[in-house]
Amino acid sequence: MEQLQAKFSVSERRACRVLDQPRSTQRFVGQPKDDDARLTKKILDYVRERPRWGYRRITQLLRRSGELINVKRVYRLWKAAGLKVPRKSRLKRATGEKANACHLQPAGCKNDIWSWDFVQASTVGGKTIRFLNIVDEYTRVCLSIKASRSITSEDAIDTLAELFAMHGVPKRIRSDNGPEFISAAIKRWLSSLGIEVLYIEPGSPWQNGVCESFNSKLRDEYLSQTELLSEQDARLKARAWQNDFNEKRPHSSLGYLTPSEFARRCGASPSLAALAPANHHNEMATPLPTT
């Protein structure tokens, strides 16, 4: 139309009349056939809901919602929106060392090395109960069996703080590399008290042999012989078994003395003069995963 107007020097009105075309045809702005903005928003909504899904699965969701669309177009919109499936981030875990094994670094006296570990059981109703066991490796005294359905880093710190006030502060604590024990909150708190943490090698529970031996006795002599009716019932029974283990059960490694008898022969140990009140409450209470 513009060429015709220029060639014959006529107005748009005359050119349209000559060609028998409505003038409105010269003012219509075509709309895109496909609504890319709408589809992109829909794709973004799906991605927020399913961040680990790629464009092929998103295409299937679009089709199931009634969109007639092919995977190439979804990929084009996907790239234009700067989308990509985030790479899986691997949890950085402490690797531990063989040199930290109990047979290579045995405890030399009371409060030299404590070890801790978790044992898991279920109530008659099927609810999981976790037991946090803490043992003095030299005297074999069970310092604590904390039974709970959920144990946070703050719970673990509170338990240790109470034990430090009652029994003194150990020089070192031995554990495996479970997420419970590599918690940044716990590591910072122990470091602030000058306590060295001995991490054993992954997949080598025998390197934490003293606590593993205690765990096996807990399973064999307590958990396999009783029913746990509830979380509170588990706590009461664990406390009773802890007392029986320390006060009445002769231990072969101690010349068949009970752990408490052997500990009394070791004499008094240095106690924690003062725990900064509420210092350990500044750390975030992070739920510990059940495994």
DSSP 35-64: -HHHHHHHHHHHHHH-TT--HHHHHHHHHH
Kindly list the distances between the CA atom of residue 221 and the CA atoms of 154, 205, 240, in Å, as whole numbers in the listed order. 30, 20, 12
Radius of gyration of the chain, Cα coordinates, nearest whole angstrom: 35
Sequence length of the chain is 291
pLDDT at 137: 92
pTM of the predicted model as reported, rounded to 2 decimal places: 0.60
Three-state secondary structure call for residue 175: strand
pLDDT at 13: 74
Beta strands in 192-266 (DSSP E): 196-199
Q: 27-46, pLDDT tens digit by residue?
A: 655 545 558 888 898 989 99
Q: Tell whether domain 98-282 is in CATH 3.30.1300.10.
A: no
What are the residue ranges in the chain where pLDDT is below 70? Answer: 1, 4-10, 18, 25, 27-34, 85-95, 97, 267-291
* DSSP 8-class letter at 125: T
pLDDT at 34: 56
Q: CA-to-CA distance for 142 and 147, rounded, in angstroms?
A: 14
